[in-house]
Chains A and B, each alone.
Chain A
Amino acid sequence: METTFTPIASLAGGVMIGLAALMLLWLNGKVAGISGIVGSALGDYSAASRWRWFFIVGLLSGGGLALYQWVGTSEIVLRASLPVLIAAGLLVGYGTRLGSGCTSGHGVCGIGRLSPRSIAATCVFMAVAALTVFVQRHVMGA
C-alpha cells in the first residue's frame, strides 16, 4: 500500500520522541530504550522497576489516545500472515534483547550519545530490515 511523504508531521513527531527521551535522561537518568524497558520490566515488580511500568502505561495511554485522535485505527494494517507475524515477533523480542536495543535505544538514545556500538547496531538492523523488505516485495513478489 502506498503512503504519502509527511515531512512536517514526521519531523515534529521525531522531535517529540527526542524530547521524551531527553526528559527521561535529564530527570531520571534513564535511557528511553523501549525493548530494554519492557524486557527488564517483564516479571520484575520490584521498586527498582516501578518507573518502567509507569513509562509503559504512559506510552500506551498517550500513544493510544493520539492514535485514535490523529491517525485512525484503520491505518494500522498488518499484511503478513499469522505464522509470519509470530516469527517476526519472536525475532524482534529475542533480537532486541540479544542486541541490547531497538530503534529507540540504539537509534535515538545510543546515537544521541554518539555510541559506536549503537551506530553499528542501527546500521545492521536498518540494512537487514531493508533487505528483508526487498526480498519479500521484489524477489518473492509479495
Chain B
Amino acid sequence: MKESIAALLAGVLFGIGLAVSGMLIPDKVLNFLDVAGHWDPSLALVMGGALMVTIPGYYLVTRKPRPVLAESFSLPSATAIDRRLLLGAAMFGAGWGLSGLCPAPALVNITTGLVDVLVFVGAMLAGMLLHKLTQRA
C-alpha cells in the first residue's frame, strides 16, 4: 500500500511539473522542435531542469542497497544499441513531431476532453497494445 501511495504522489508531482513546464502545450513542443522557425528553447530547460535532479540523484540513490519501500531496484538491464531501439525511437520521433504530443502530456491532456486528444491517446494505446500482442506471437 505504501508503494502505491508513493507512486500516486510521484505521479501528482510529475503531472504538476509537466503543466508548470509548458510541456502540455503542443504548440510549445513543436516550436521547440522547429529550429528553423520561431524557435522556443523552453523545453531544453525542462529537460535540463529534470537532469539537474536525476543525474546526481540517481547516482546517489542507486548506491544504496535497496529502495526505501521495495526489495530491490528495478532498472533496465539492456545495454545494446540495436535496431529495435533505434527504429522505435525513430517511429516515436515521427509521431511526436507530427502531433506535438509525447506519452505523458498526451495522457494529462485527456482531462481537457478534446476529441483530438482522445483520438490521439486512443491510437497511442492501440499502438502499445499492438506491440504487446505482436511480441507474444
- A60-B15 contact, Cβ under 8 Å, with A9-B22, A10-B22, A91-B127: yes
Shortest Cβ distance from residue B90 to the other chain A in the assembled complex, whole angstroms? 5
Query: Could you tell me if A42 and B31 are in contact, using CB atoms closer than 8 angstroms?
Result: no
- A63-B16 contact, Cβ under 8 Å, with A82-B116, A93-B131: yes
Residues in B neighbouring A70, C-beta threshold 8 A: 19-20
- A87-B95 contact, Cβ under 8 Å, with A22-B53, A34-B104, A60-B111: yes
Shortest Cβ distance from residue B5 to the other chain A in the assembled complex, whole angstroms? 7
Supplied contacts A51-B6, A85-B120, 15 more A-B pairs, CB within 8 Å = A1-B31, A4-B40, A50-B4, A55-B8, A63-B19, A82-B116, A84-B98, A88-B98, A97-B131, A104-B102, A111-B55, A113-B75, A117-B85, A124-B93, A132-B93
Query: Could you tell me if A93 and B3 are in contact, using CB atoms closer than 8 angstroms?
Result: no
Interface flags, A105-124, vs B, CB<8A=1, else 0: 01111111111110011101
The dominant DSSP class at the A interface is: helix
Interface flags, A6-39, vs B, CB<8A=1, else 0: 1101111111111111111111111110110011
Query: Could you tell me if B37 and A93 are in contact, using CB atoms closer than 8 angstroms?
Result: no
- A56-B20 contact, Cβ under 8 Å, with A39-B128, A82-B116, A88-B99: no
